[in-house]
Amino acid sequence: MDDAFRFIRACRREPVDRVPVWLMRQAGRYLPEYRELRKEHSIIEICHSPELAARVTLQPLERFDLDAAILFADILLPLEGFGIDFEFASGEGPVIANPIRSPEDIDALQGFDPERKLGYVGDAVREIREALAGRVPLIGFAAAPFTLASYMVEGGSSRRYLYVKSLMYTHPQAWERLMRVVREVTRDYLAAQIEAGAQAVQLFDSWAGCLSPVDYRDFVLPHSSWVLEGLNAYGVPRIHFGTDTATLLGAMKEAGGEVIGVDWRIPIDQARRVIGPDFAVQGNLDPAALFAPKPALAARVNEILSAADAMRGFIFNLGHGVWPETPPDAVQTVVETVHAFQTPSDRRAGA
């Protein structure tokens, strides 16, 4: 049945009847029904409850004709298995109580079995798959090793990346040890999601854009490649996405996978030329464009589709996640515009 999903077919660069679309953070903060749920439950409580995580995952599919569901979870959940305490501070994002700052901290870090310690995620995957009943495929995900390690070191969000870069430059051997522990957990975590029923996975390298191409190749590329290669035997599409990575796309494709995700900071046709014909491409509307008037938003979507050679190995998405203030009607406009897209040859043929 998976082969019938246009999202899966596009990931494999196979012919599709229309361009598939899903949106990062399509489940959650901008939906009134999610906000109602959050009045009673914290983010972590929702993540820990397979029933609630499944409910939130399915909420956008009840509103919009999306071509894939993405598991509702948080990229920091693996920190629980490492024994690293964190919370979501109001207006500040995640705050980590005991960040890793020294080689000694890294030496004390122990890996773990995600299927055992994060078993509620697999339970949510199984519950979502049952509820979807073959309607659309389910995407699992994890933070890439660099992004997860950066949170562990910085202690939360960062603008200067002082602690993580200092650790990389000053203690490269300790950094290597940290990345080896994190990458193994990341691979096993994604594998557990696939075994539970995820039909594609996305590796989020949200912090990779802070690096120069040289540093990315030296400190990150081998570890992301190790994770993606370790999932190859499962045969599901693997999406590799990073934020602010226009200068890193050539290196990111070397890490492997089937799909490269692109943010809005590079024109999609230019990104496709850099990535080349052997990969599908996903992206790349600026999330802020969803605040434009409907005609302007539809025009932006069509510009990307026209430039992207969209009927050939392309998945429409945002260049990052949906903002909490986004009007749901704007998401509807995006989905309708993508599905109505026709190539010039289609229009001439009266398709």
pLDDT tens digits for range 149-198: 999 999 988 889 999 999 999 999 999 999 999 999 999 999 999 999 99
Cα–Cα distance between 118 and 120 in angstroms, integer?
A: 5
Q: Dump the DSSP string for 33-69.
A: HHHHHHTT--HHHHHH-HHHHHHHHHHHHHHS--S-E
The secondary element (H helix, E strand) that includes residue 225 is helix 221-230
Which pTM does this prediction carry? 0.96
Residue 345, helix vs strand vs coil: helix
> Of these residues, 25, 55, 183, 238, which one is catalytic?
25
Q: Average pLDDT, whole number, for the chain? A: 95
Q: Which residue type does 39 have?
A: K
| Average pLDDT rounded to a whole number, residues 98-113 | 95
Residue 11 has pLDDT above 60, yes or no: yes
| Contact of 143 with 204, CB cutoff 8 Å | yes
CA-based angle 111:115:241, to the nearest 5?
80
- The question of whether 163 is a catalytic residue gets the answer no
Architecture, CATH, for domain 2-349 = Alpha-Beta Barrel (3.20)
| Average pLDDT rounded to a whole number, residues 289-309 | 98
> Of these residues, 2, 13, 18, 29, which one is catalytic?
29
Token pair, residue 127, equals 């519950």
Categorize the per-residue pLDDT at 209 as very low, low, confident or very high, splitting at 50, 70 and 90: very high
Categorize the per-residue pLDDT at 44 as very low, low, confident or very high, splitting at 50, 70 and 90: very high
Residue 344 has pLDDT above 60, yes or no: no
Residue 80 is predicted with a pLDDT of: 95
Cα–Cα distance between 304 and 346 in angstroms, integer?
A: 17
- The question of whether 126 is a catalytic residue gets the answer no
Of 2, 1, 5, 8, the closest CA to residue 238 belongs to 8
| Contact of 269 with 248, CB cutoff 8 Å | no
Rounded to a whole number of angstroms, the CA Rg of the chain reads 19
- The question of whether 74 is a catalytic residue gets the answer yes
Token pair, residue 116, equals 């055992």
Residue 345 has pLDDT above 70, yes or no: no
Token pair, residue 242, equals 């990073």
Residue 158 is predicted with a pLDDT of: 86
Cα 303 to the center of its chain, rounded Å? 23
Residue 23, helix vs strand vs coil: coil
Residue 349 is predicted with a pLDDT of: 47
Categorize the per-residue pLDDT at 346 as very low, low, confident or very high, splitting at 50, 70 and 90: low
Cα-flanking dihedrals φ and ψ of residue 256, to 5°?
A: 105, -165
pLDDT tens digit sequence for 59-82: 999 999 999 999 999 999 999 999
Cα–Cα distance between 128 and 130 in angstroms, integer?
A: 5
- The question of whether 265 is a catalytic residue gets the answer no
> Of these residues, 151, 187, 188, 244, which one is catalytic?
151
> Of these residues, 13, 18, 38, 177, which one is catalytic?
38
Residue 1 is predicted with a pLDDT of: 38
- The question of whether 38 is a catalytic residue gets the answer yes
